[in-house]
Amino acid sequence: MRKRVGKRRTRLLAVLAVVGTLAGTGLAGAAPAGAVPAAGRVAPGVSYTEFDVPAAKGTAHAHLLTVDLRDPRVRVDLLHPGAVGARATVSSMADATGAVGGVNGDFFNITETQHPGIEATGAAVGPAVAGGRALKAAVPDGQRFGPALPPGTSTRDVLGVGLDRRARLDSMVLEGSVRTRADRVALGGLNQYALPVGSVGAFTPEWGSVSRARAVCGTDTQRAAPCSTDTYEVTVGRGRVVATADTPGSGPVADGTTVLVGRESGAQWLRKLSAGDPVQVRRRLVAAHTRVPYLFAVGGYPVLRDGAPLPGLDARTSAVRTAAGIADHGRTLLLLALDGAPAYRTGLSVAEVADTLRALGADDAFSLDGGGSSTLVAREPGAASVTLRNHPTDPPERAVANGIGVYARG
């Protein structure tokens, strides 16, 4: 086993050495204004490079952060704007938390043109864990934003780092319930912009102040379906019902309270509750493939498992993309974002992204949001703030739901 790990690590370092040698060739003037040299050390255990990727529809240009999770001075966590229902740029989130680098994260609720009068929440599609704390669960597959999912994947898929400091791919499901003295119902959502039909979902202070009305729009299979007219909302504080409403509300969820939103049969269940009734809400995110608790997790979808691309990956549609690779049995994290400058905007297909990360030494890889969201930032040694390393396709830098932040001491 040790020989295999050593060989994988040697191959990864060799590939990155070649990439570093090639970085920036033929790209004079291509880097964003103020960018540092094409390859080099960002912080202890963190390095940055950029390189060309020959592709079916033309040359793509990639920016890469390599994170050594063996280094005790390095950690990875979720970048987020302080609320699930909010957006901010990767640069601002990195600077606000002292990250030395990072990329954008999950796909998110970016628009609501199909539901006039309903506010887009900015909330991410999949599960999110920050600092070991579960922020949200996944929306139904049919409610996601982004390209079609590869066969066998779902909105519950995550990339995360556990307490053992290893990166891995997993799937996270919500387990929870709402219990009264006489009855109980399974919890169908946690801080989600879309709840399953007939369910009850919980909104906590982590949700933020954006309206909860989007949660009852669409169906499990059709994002554009009309909003439900059979809804109810109950606010629980200190274990008792403190308020009720016929429709989902907006504004901050007060500390120590939980807002329950129901649709269809879930709404009918909530209507049985009255002010003062005792209610117990329990919820947790459960990882499907490991018992190791997660310090950090972000949604997206897998494209590479155990060194093999997933069957059915799109090999035709090229675009600017962001992705993450896991190498060296979870000890190395590769964060990649393509450049959106006009010369490279054709980008890569999802299949080409998987091949690129495999060539860089990854055994597993995970696709994140792309297009105008694709962002990679890194701090120049000694600088007080990060620098945007790639060109956004739609400048200036887009505000996104979350990202992957890299932190280093020393």
What phi and psi, each to the nearest 5 degrees, are found at residue 234? -130, 130
Instruction: Enter the tokens of residue 107.
Output: 């796909």
Of 33 and 164, the structure prediction assigns the larger pLDDT to 164
**Whose CA is closest to 89, among 370, 390, 401, 341?**
401
pLDDT for the residue 326: 98
Confirm if 407 and 386 have CB atoms less than 8 A apart: no
Query: Amino acid letter at 136?
Result: K
- Of the chain, the percentage scoring pLDDT greater than 90 comes to 89
Q: What does pLDDT average to over the chain? A: 92
Query: Amino acid letter at 281?
Result: V
Of 275 and 37, the structure prediction assigns the larger pLDDT to 275
pLDDT for the residue 335: 98
Of 26 and 115, the structure prediction assigns the larger pLDDT to 115
Q: Which residue has the tokens 């043109």?
A: 113
pLDDT for the residue 23: 37
pLDDT for the residue 410: 79
**CA count, 13 A, side-chain hemisphere, 34:** 11
pLDDT for the residue 20: 40
What is the arithmetic mean of pLDDT over 325-340?
A: 98
Q: Where residue 291 falls among pLDDT bands split at 50, 70, 90?
A: confident
* Per-residue model confidence as pLDDT tens digits over 362-377: 999 999 999 999 999 9
Tell me how crowded residue 124 is: count the other CB atoms within 10 A of its CB. 34
Beta carbons within 8 Å of 246's beta carbon, 6+ residues apart: 231, 232, 233
**Dist. CA 220–CA 185, nearest whole Å:** 19
pLDDT for the residue 159: 98
- Asked if the model's pLDDT at residue 13 lies above 80, the reply is no
Confirm if 279 and 178 have CB atoms less than 8 A apart: yes
What is the arithmetic mean of pLDDT over 209-217?
A: 98
Total-model pTM: 0.92
Q: Burial of 322 by CB count in 10 Å (0-12 exposed, 13-18 middle, 19+ buried)?
A: buried
For the chain, give the secondary structure using H, E and C. Answer: CHHHHHHHHHHHHHHHHHHHHHCCCCCCCCCCCCCCCCCEEEECCEEEEEEEECCCCCCEEEEEEEEECCCCCEEEEEECCCCCCCCECHHHHHHHHCCCEEEECCCECCCCCCCCCCCCCCCECCCEEECCEEEECCCCHHHCCCCCCCCCCCCCEEEEEECCCCEEEEEEEEEEEEECCCCEEEEEEECCCCCCCCCEEEECHHHCCCCCHHHHECCCCCCCCCECCCEEEEEEECCEEEEEECCCCCCCCCCCEEEEEEECHHHHHHCCCCCCCECEEEEEEEECCCCCCEEEEEECEEEEECCEECCCCCCCCCECCEEEEEECCCCEEEEEEECCCHHHCCCECHHHHHHHHHHCCCCEEEEECCHHHCCEEEECCCCCCEEECCCCCCCCCCCECCEEEEEECC
Query: Amino acid letter at 330?
Result: G
Q: Which residues of 214-249 are buried (b: 16+ CB within 10 A; e: fewer)?
A: bbbbbbbeebebebbeebbbbbbeeeebeeeeeebb
* Per-residue model confidence as pLDDT tens digits over 269-280: 999 999 999 999
DSSP β-ladder status, 332-338 and 364-368: unpaired
Confirm if 230 and 106 have CB atoms less than 8 A apart: no
**Whose CA is closest to 323, among 289, 355, 280, 346?**
355
What phi and psi, each to the nearest 5 degrees, are found at residue 13? -65, -40
pLDDT for the residue 381: 87
DSSP β-ladder status, 231-237 and 240-245: antiparallel
pLDDT for the residue 397: 97
Instruction: Enter the tokens of residue 203.
Output: 């909104």
Instruction: Enter the tokens of residue 376.
Output: 């990679």
- Of the chain, the percentage scoring pLDDT greater than 70 comes to 90
pLDDT for the residue 93: 98
Q: Where residue 39 falls among pLDDT bands split at 50, 70, 90?
A: low
